């Protein structure tokens, strides 16, 4: 159970503030590295993973199907913290709620490096990655959206143009149109952003398995930091 604090003025607009505590259920997996391979001054980097629509619900085991939470099931020496929240059934990723969850995680885990927080997600999680980067463009050292994106995100690229970004998509994707990623990448390049774009020529919607199995992704994450 995660507690969200919200502040509001009274109904009569008196100059007093009250704190309302609302209970919000957020299932999540949290992996702590057993080694300090990537630690700097005792602090290790964090990867946040946003799953796709198929992993929504209350069965947290579903979140382990793809990406970093799947990798750490067998790779116990993985050198990153990994935060993998679960979206509720029939809901979409809520960037404001995710931000509050991250605040809570950082407050409780002082060995996470706040300058090396990396955000990634697939499909619905790719959309969520863009949404969160737009909401908090100064929070992430790098982002890696996979087979996500929309016209709205293309129009708002100016908000996150300074964040190093690596976009991935399958050329044969029949679920999320490749053009969405193409337009976002094009808009970012027109702003001289630090953008990489990988298209898998024979991949359909699953463009994430090859992405997350590629050591180059994690090396690229580590090459980026907010204090550089």
At 91-135, the pLDDT tens digits run 999 999 999 999 999 999 999 999 999 999 999 999 999 999 999
pLDDT range class, residue 8, cuts 50, 70, 90: very low
Q: What is the CA radius of gyration of the chain?
A: 18
* Residue spans of beta strands (DSSP E) within the chain: 2-9, 17-24, 28-31, 44-50, 81-85, 112-122, 142-146, 165-170, 195-200
What digits encode the pLDDT tens for the residues 40-84? 999 999 999 999 999 999 999 999 999 999 999 999 999 999 999
User: Do 122 and 146 form a contact (C-beta atoms < 8 A)?
Assistant: yes
Q: What is the pLDDT of residue 2?
A: 41
Task: Answer yes or no: are the C-beta atoms of 87 and 56 closer than 8 Å.
Answer: yes
Looking at the predicted structure, is the pLDDT value of residue 136 above 70? yes
Confidence band, pLDDT 50/70/90 cuts, at residue 26: confident
Q: Topology of domain 26-222, per CATH?
A: Rossmann fold (3.40.50)
Mean pLDDT over 189-216 rounds to 97
Decide the pairing of beta strands 112-122 and 81-85: unpaired
Task: Kindly indicate the confidence band of residue 27, based on its pLDDT and cuts at 50, 70 and 90.
Answer: very high
* Average pLDDT rounded to a whole number, residues 202-222: 97
Element (H, E) at 101: helix 95-108
Q: Is there a contact between 165 and 142 (Cβ–Cβ < 8 Å)?
A: yes
């Amino acid at each position: 159970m995660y507690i969200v604090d919200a502040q509001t003025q009274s109904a009569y607009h008196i100059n007093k503030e009250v704190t309302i505590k609302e209970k919000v259920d957020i299932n999540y997996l949290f992996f702590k590295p057993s080694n300090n391979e990537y630690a700097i001054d005792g602090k290790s980097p964090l990867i946040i993973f946003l799953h796709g629509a198929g992993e929504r619900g209350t069965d947290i085991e579903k979140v382990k199907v793809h990406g970093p939470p799947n990798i750490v099931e067998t790779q116990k020496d993985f050198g990153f913290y990994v935060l993998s929240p679960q979206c509720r059934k029939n809901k979409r990723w809520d960037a404001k709620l995710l931000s509050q969850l991250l605040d809570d995680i950082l407050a409780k885990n002082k060995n996470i490096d706040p300058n090396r927080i990396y955000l990634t997600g697939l499909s619905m999680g790719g959309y969520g990655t863009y949404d969160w980067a737009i909401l908090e463009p100064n929070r992430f050292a790098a982002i890696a959206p996979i087979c996500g994106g929309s016209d709205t995100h293309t129009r708002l690229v100016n908000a996150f143009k300074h964040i190093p970004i690596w976009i991935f998509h399958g050329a044969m994707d029949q679920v999320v149109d490749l053009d969405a990623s193409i337009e976002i990448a094009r808009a970012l390049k027109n702003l001289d952003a630090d953008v990489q774009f990988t298209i898998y020529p024979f991949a359909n919607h699953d463009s994430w398995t090859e992405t997350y199995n590629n050591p180059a992704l994690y090396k690229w994450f580590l090459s980026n930091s907010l204090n550089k």
